[in-house]
Structure 1
Amino acid sequence: MKLKLRQAFDLAAIARDQGKAGRVEFQPVATRMWFETELYRAINRAVLAPYTAAREEILEAAKATKATLTQDAFSLSDVMSALRGSFTQAARLSEGPMRSLFEGEARRHDEKWIDQVNRVIGIDLKAVVSSRQIAPAIDLAVQGNVALIKGLSDDVAKRVETTIIDLVTRGASTKEISKALTDIGGFTKGRAQLIAITEANKFNGQLNRIRQEQAGVTRYTWSTARDNRVRPSHRAREGQTYRWDTPPAGGPPGSEPRCRCIARAVLDLDEGKFRRSERQRAGREGLRAVEAALGL
């Protein structure tokens, strides 16, 4: 879902008033590794921690089910029901900490953006940059990440249940079952890391877009992490200029999984002058055409 943005002020006009001309580029505001790490920890607290806490009970239930397939016993379904309940509660409790994380990162991003503009152009945006402007983006980010936690929890629960049932049915050893549970824990960590990296960079990309478009910045330069993990298609975009309203395939920087690319704000300060001169020329030509038609 793309947020509908309204331009709050014209940064290019302000820059011209300050005597700036030509093309001005700002240093990109990047995602903090701290934010990715804290997001990863939050996801793990909501998914991996309940799973780890239930792991031994799952193993014991699997052993009991294996030993007494035709008898009433403490069943795997009891343990899975309890695990799903723990996941549901953990996901619900994750919303508050998740909101605090995104709000804190948004404040940090605003400070960086304000500092960038102040150093490059010499104006302070504190009077026009408000937290209310990005509240919808924070709400969407929190909602989306809680949904991702719930989705990962459901996936883990399904993997546990289907894996254990399959192993017990095949008569697998306790060692094999234990290893399968360890593998599921590794899968959970890997998915949590992927979600954290992707969502942290996606949120940073959203903030860059919001703050730039609200300032009337229509163009950005694509900036990659410049290492061997950059997608070939993104590496080819390094230094290329794009418009926010016509993004390339896959979306603007930070849109795709694990994308660490950043949008560097660009101001073409001569563009406004060019457009004004074009309008003046068109007006003069139009006036001459009218006069010629009237025989003046």
Structure 2
Amino acid sequence: MRFDLAALTRRQRNPRRTLIPLRAISAQATRATDLYRAAYLPVIQAWTEALPAIEADYARSLSNVTQDSAATLETEIQRAENTVGAFLLSVRPRVERWARQAEAWHRMRWRRAVLDATSVDLATLIGPEDARETLETIIARNVGLVRSVSDETRRRIGDAVFRGLTERRPSREVAKEIREAVAITRRRALRIAADQNVKLSSALNDERRRQAGIDSWQWVHSDKPNFRPEHDARDGKLYSENSERVGSEYQGKLVRKPPEDKPGQLPFCGCTSKAVLILE
């Protein structure tokens, strides 16, 4: 805890309520698109641009299936992989810029949520350095995920062309398969970017709440079409990391022990949390 928001709230005014919910901060969808374009799309584009040359080499190799033919195809695939490797050298700064911008936006929303609920302005109490560890974690994770997206594409393309040579499959079939391989990777990358955007927002929610000494929060369901039933059942329920609060009631709200998975933690969970300030 860097500061005691409950004490600052009492000092600012004499609140009559013991339970003050803050406005929920959900991940901004456009930032998922920003992450995809900055870090994942260049990998997809590099492999897409390599497909015509790979398809042409496959067609030539099909009429003369020798060890040299396979080696030529491997060289073409390796050339695309080298292009992606050169991009990966710059992927960390790209993800860093995205993460810093997302943190700045979240900090602004958090400051406004606290000000509206408590009349306390956190302008001089919070800054980007407070979330450094959270950002480093999400940056490292995304650098690894970008590499995995490229590795998966390379594996799918390689499997398709070398299996095609072995089975003497027509060029058009193999071309369709390797283009579908890139399409599958593109869809996966879009889902990853959306998921990582939610995970950063959820981590920042937890970080800012801890800094303010707030140990209680409400579950806010995502309302996504494909939701987890247990997450839907948690919507609006009050949880606390303070074991002494668990089992108590505040303004008719029962305080529960937090579940093992928090909002946004499980893969592709779009739920978020709403900080709740409890004044004894």
TM superposition score normalised by structure 1: 0.85
Native 8 Å contact 1:46 1:94 kept in 2: no
Native 8 Å contact 1:209 1:244 kept in 2: no
1:89 pairs with 2:86: yes
- % same residue: 24
The equivalent residue for 2:14 is 19
The equivalent residue for 1:67 is 63
Structure 2 CA distance for aligned equivalents of residues 244 and 96 of structure 1:
35
3-state DSSP class of the match of 2:273?
strand
Q: How many residues align?
A: 263
The equivalent residue for 2:236 is 239
3-state DSSP class of the match of 2:121?
coil
Deviation at 1:48, TM superposition (A): 0.4
Give unpaired runs (5+ residues) of structure 1. Answer: 1-6, 271-296
The equivalent residue for 2:99 is 102
1:255 pairs with 2:269: no
1:50 pairs with 2:46: yes
Letter in 1 for 2:116: R
The correspondence for 2:274, drawn from 264, 272, 276, is: 264
Give unpaired runs (5+ residues) of structure 2. Answer: 243-256
Deviation at 1:247, TM superposition (A): 4.0
**1:83-133: per-residue Cα shift (whole Å, max 9, x none)?**
221121122222222111110010000000001111111111011101111
Go from structure 1 to structure 2 and tell me whether the alpha carbon gap of 1:114 and 1:260 turns closer, same or farther (over 3 Å shift): same
1:190 pairs with 2:187: yes
The equivalent residue for 1:202 is 199
Structure 2 CA distance for aligned equivalents of residues 121 and 63 of structure 1:
69
**1:47-66: per-residue Cα shift (whole Å, max 9, x none)?**
20110110111111212222
Rg comparison, structure with higher value: 1
Structure 2 CA distance for aligned equivalents of residues 176 and 148 of structure 1:
29
Go from structure 1 to structure 2 and tell me whether the alpha carbon gap of 1:66 and 1:8 turns closer, same or farther (over 3 Å shift): same
**1:14-52: per-residue Cα shift (whole Å, max 9, x none)?**
222221231110111111111011112224333201101
**Root-mean-square deviation over aligned CA pairs:** 1.6
Structure 1 CA distance for aligned equivalents of residues 75 and 18 of structure 2:
69
Deviation at 1:232, TM superposition (A): 0.9
Structure 2 CA distance for aligned equivalents of residues 244 and 101 of structure 1:
30
3-state DSSP class of the match of 2:276?
strand
Structure 2 CA distance for aligned equivalents of residues 226 and 163 of structure 1:
39
TM superposition score normalised by structure 2: 0.89
**1:246-290: per-residue Cα shift (whole Å, max 9, x none)?**
6413x21111122111110011112xxxxxxxxxxxxxxxxxxxx
Native 8 Å contact 1:43 1:192 kept in 2: no
Deviation at 1:155, TM superposition (A): 1.1
Native 8 Å contact 1:194 1:257 kept in 2: no
